[in-house]
A and B are shown apart, each in its own frame.
Chain A
Amino acid sequence: MSEDEKILKKAYEKIIESKVEKDQEQEENDLGRIETLEKEKDDFKNKWLRSKADYQNLEKQSIQRVSQEILKEKLNLLLEFITIYEDFIRAQDSLSKNNVDTSGIEIIRKNMEKILSENNIVPIAAIGKPFDPQIHEAISMVEDDSVDEGTIIQEVAKGYYAEEGILKPSKVIVSKKKSEK
């Protein structure tokens, strides 16, 4: 190989080397950029998925909230209805004591009970039952040895179950043993 050829070869090698270096550098830059873009893409995808999930959750919550509100309003209305229903029972009791014909009121009462039953409203049993704070509310205790201690002996206000739980607890008076003196 002549001297000139050697010089030429060296020059070529240098050029190739620098090109390879540049290409490597470029490749590194490209890889770095791809990595950044990948990260950015993942970040956006994540945010997008989260937004989508947030929206779907909000939709579910809204549906749930609306049905809860409707149920709440329905139960409130039923509570008002129960007050009137109980007044009818009192009216019937009072009138029948005075020997007044209450057959008409009896029909009204039955119709009202039908509405309550259709709405899954069931009275809570109280008198003679053991007191249960999950469904009864004690307003006082009286001494009574004729029944077991903790038995309900008077119902002050009727309680009702609704399908979803307790619509209102019964208000009751509970027995206790006579204190020994």
Chain B
Amino acid sequence: MAEKIIGIDLGTSNSAASVMQGGKPTLVPAAEGTTVAGKAFPSVVAFSKDGELLVGEPARRQAVTNPDNTIREAKRKMGEDFVFKIQGKEYKPQQISAFILQKIKRDAEAFTGDTINKAVITVPAYFNDNQRQATKDAGTIAGLDVVRIINEPTSAALAFGLDKSKEDMKILVFDLGGGTLDVTIMEMGGGVFEVMSTSGDTKLGGVDMDVAITDYVIDEFRKKEGIDLSSDPQAKERVRTDSEKAKIELSTVMETEINIPFIAPGKNLEVKLTRAKLEDLVGSIVHRCKPSVDKAIEDAKLSVSDITKVLLVGGPTRMPIVKKFVSDTIGKEPEGGVDPMEAVAFGAAVQAGIISGDVTSDIVLLDVTPLTLGIETLGGVREPIIERNTTIPTSKDKTFTTAADSQTAVTINVVQGERPMVVDNVSLGTFNLTDIPPAPRGVPQINVKFDIDANGILNVTAKDMGTGKDQKITIQSTTSMSEDEIKKMQEDAAGHAEEDKKKKEAVDIKNEAESFIYTTEKLVNQDLKDKIPQEKGIQITDAIKELKDVLSQDIEQIKPKLEALKAIVNEVTTELYKNASPPPGQQSGDSNQQQSGDSNQQQSGDSNQQQSGDSNQQQSGDSNQQQSGDSSSEQKSENTSS
């Protein structure tokens, strides 16, 4: 197998890594768990007073207690002739970045279970050669062979799959992070990305928005209660946490409430925050992005109308006001489908996958069945055997049974499509399984097996489990339909879902009624002939007649008659069991209940599974499922419990 290469978004404030798994980029979780920055972790390195190295969350947590020995934003110094002096030692920026990369390497190894030696690392588009070389050096120090350095906006474009586009395009990448804004314009042609311009603001980001909301909430409380929470660290922390939560909520709802009980002695904080108010609070921050966007467009010597694609990167771009600002400024809706917080790391993993061959060469492309394959059952209902989108080669089987007494043959009608009724799908072929020994309905076991090979050739085999006799059909092409035809069938299924459900329900009820009539008649005329009191026997016979009379009518007519028959039968059988059991006691009561419940369930379940093939052949599910052919004796039923 190709050696795993990880993709790393080595950010100024936060870093993240991603790796290809099953052909898709997956974010590597930080060992310390998910944090405010999602699965990413802060790009902070520190040395404790004992000289212990801390990277990521623990380093950030101790920063205020140990500012002299804590390094943030080392990325800004990459490629410069600069040293960090910590506890008498000197560290180059690439050494500090290497500590972050080592942590990523460890986390990735723990996550994948493989040794990781190679990486693709992203850098801002404006990084010069020195800065890129320093980033490569950081990788080497960390024990990683940096197989490629790619621009962050290019990485985002890869995550959005823009490299696959055949058209030339001009892409604007709007990357608003926690503390910085980067705007890049790139030209893409033939899968090659070229940076046209970059601009940005190193002191603008989501953190400014959180501060604005927290200040507003504290101010509102002060106006209402006359208490200043900003001097109480505990209260301020609670307001900050809930304000951030409210900001996230307001991306999906129009209004939310910040409720913090007992924020001050005997006082509760209740502030209603609407999306409009939030946008009012952060509006000025968002509009500070405008000069950077204008400058990038101007430097690229373009006008806004020349921009063909807009990509959003960074957590704050999830906010509707930011999305709206970008689409209003550029006059185009941004691309969707990729989490803006993960896009850069994902793109790096895609690039890594292309280099290692994970993305194309080493993957066997397996086909899938575009439509569901199944057989016809009682009442023209389609019983699925292989669901659509199943990867082939594959094989699945189900066991069916007969629907009529002494039924000696069944017809298997192989159908393809998404609709529950056979008539709305396409029949691929039919064949008969004959010489089934005569037996009461529900007794024979007929196993139907669908096997599709790698070339899409379908073999359907029906085997009578009693005699071992089998019959088969080979269908050469189950995918001879064009893509348009397949799409149409799938759309048809979605469009007719409600109507189909009703049709299927009607057939199911009719099948259930027929099955119940059969079972009841057998019960009354044979099994319990001498045990049922005469007047009850008459009641049952009348109820059966009434149900038979409405069988050809609609479902609303059948349902009450079926329920009435069930009620009488239940009453009679309950009475019979009561008489057959020992004197009333707790045990006897329990056992009666259980048996009666079971018997009902079984009957109703059985009858639902009845099916019919063509005009004269029918099948039913479960071992008791039955079907009755019209004039012909060829009938069958299915057992879906296999």
The count of chain B contact residues (Cβ–Cβ below 8 Å) is 29
Report the bound CA distance from A166 to B63 in whole Å: 19
Interface residue A16 (Cβ < 8 Å from any Cβ of B): no
A-chain residues with CB within 8 Å of residue B32 when the two chains form the complex:
165-166
Instruction: Assess the A133–B364 pair: CB atoms within 8 A.
Output: no
- The B interface is mostly helix, strand or loop, or mixed, namely mixed
Question: Could you tell me which residues of chain B, from 54 to 78, have a CB within 8 Å of some CB in chain A?
Answer: 54, 57-65
Question: Could you tell me which residues of chain B, from 30 to 56, have a CB within 8 Å of some CB in chain A?
Answer: 32-34, 46, 48-49, 54
Instruction: Assess the B233–A133 pair: CB atoms within 8 A.
Output: no
Question: Could you tell me which residues of chain A, from 124 to 181, have a CB within 8 Å of some CB in chain B?
Answer: 131, 133-134, 136-141, 150, 154, 156-157, 164-166, 169, 171, 173-174, 176
B-chain residues with CB within 8 Å of residue A176 when the two chains form the complex:
65
Instruction: Assess the B237–A87 pair: CB atoms within 8 A.
Output: no
Interface residue B336 (Cβ < 8 Å from any Cβ of A): no
B-chain residues with CB within 8 Å of residue A131 when the two chains form the complex:
62, 65
B-contacting residues of A (Cβ < 8 Å)? 47, 50-51, 58, 61, 72, 87, 90-91, 93-94, 97-98, 131, 133-134, 136-141, 150, 154, 156-157, 164-166, 169, 171, 173-174, 176
Instruction: Assess the B65–A47 pair: CB atoms within 8 A.
Output: no
Residue of A whose beta carbon sits closest to that of B22: A58
Interface residue B266 (Cβ < 8 Å from any Cβ of A): yes
Report the bound CA distance from A58 to B23 in whole Å: 12
Instruction: Assess the A90–B237 pair: CB atoms within 8 A.
Output: no
Instruction: Assess the A91–B262 pair: CB atoms within 8 A.
Output: yes
Identify which of B65, B237, B262 contacts A156 (C-beta below 8 A).
B237
B-chain residues with CB within 8 Å of residue A138 when the two chains form the complex:
61-65
Interface residue B468 (Cβ < 8 Å from any Cβ of A): no
Identify which of B58, B261, B364 contacts A51 (C-beta below 8 A).
B364
Instruction: Assess the B237–A174 pair: CB atoms within 8 A.
Output: no
- Min Cβ gap B402→A in Å is 37
Report the bound CA distance from A163 to B518 in whole Å: 58
A-chain residues with CB within 8 Å of residue B49 when the two chains form the complex:
150
Residue of A whose beta carbon sits closest to that of B1: A50
Q: A133-B58, A138-B62 are in contact. Are A87 and B233 (CB under 8 A)?
A: no
Report the bound CA distance from A154 to B234 in whole Å: 9
- Ordered by A's residue number, 20 sampled pairs between the chains whose C-beta atoms are within 8 Å are A87-B262, A91-B262, A93-B262, A94-B265, A94-B266, A98-B266, A133-B59, A134-B58, A137-B61, A138-B64, A139-B64, A140-B233, A150-B49, A156-B234, A157-B234, A157-B237, A164-B33, A169-B57, A169-B61, A174-B64
Report the bound CA distance from A137 to B261 in whole Å: 23
Residue of A whose beta carbon sits closest to that of B363: A54
Interface residue B21 (Cβ < 8 Å from any Cβ of A): yes
Instruction: Assess the A133–B48 pair: CB atoms within 8 A.
Output: yes
Beyond A91-B261, A133-B59, A169-B61, list 8 extra A-B contacts (CB 8 Å). Answer: A50-B1, A91-B262, A133-B58, A136-B61, A137-B60, A137-B61, A141-B64, A166-B32
Report the bound CA distance from A136 to B54 in whole Å: 13
Instruction: Assess the B58–A157 pair: CB atoms within 8 A.
Output: no
Report the bound CA distance from A156 to B59 in whole Å: 19
A-chain residues with CB within 8 Å of residue B59 when the two chains form the complex:
133
Interface residue B600 (Cβ < 8 Å from any Cβ of A): no
- Min Cβ gap A77→B in Å is 14
B-chain residues with CB within 8 Å of residue A58 when the two chains form the complex:
22
- Min Cβ gap B393→A in Å is 11
Interface-central residue, B21, B32, B233, by most chain A CB under 10 Å = B233
Q: A51-B364, A166-B32 are in contact. Are A150 and B65 (CB under 8 A)?
A: yes
Q: A58-B22, A157-B237 are in contact. Are A133 and B261 (CB under 8 A)?
A: no
Residue of A whose beta carbon sits closest to that of B262: A90
Report the bound CA distance from A154 to B241 in whole Å: 18
Report the bound CA distance from A131 to B364 in whole Å: 53
Identify which of A72, A87, A164 contacts B261 (C-beta below 8 A).
A87
B-chain residues with CB within 8 Å of residue A165 when the two chains form the complex:
32-33
A-chain residues with CB within 8 Å of residue B1 when the two chains form the complex:
50
Interface residue B106 (Cβ < 8 Å from any Cβ of A): no
Report the bound CA distance from A98 to B266 in whole Å: 9
B-chain residues with CB within 8 Å of residue A157 when the two chains form the complex:
234, 237-238, 241
- Min Cβ gap A78→B in Å is 13
Ordered nearest first, which 4 A-B pairs have the shortest CB separation?
A133-B62, A90-B262, A137-B61, A133-B58
Report the bound CA distance from A137 to B33 in whole Å: 15
Residue of B whose beta carbon sits closest to that of A136: B61
Residue of B whose beta carbon sits closest to that of A89: B262
- Min Cβ gap B33→A in Å is 6
Interface-central residue, A93, A133, A136, A139, by most chain B CB under 10 Å = A133
A-chain residues with CB within 8 Å of residue B22 when the two chains form the complex:
58, 61
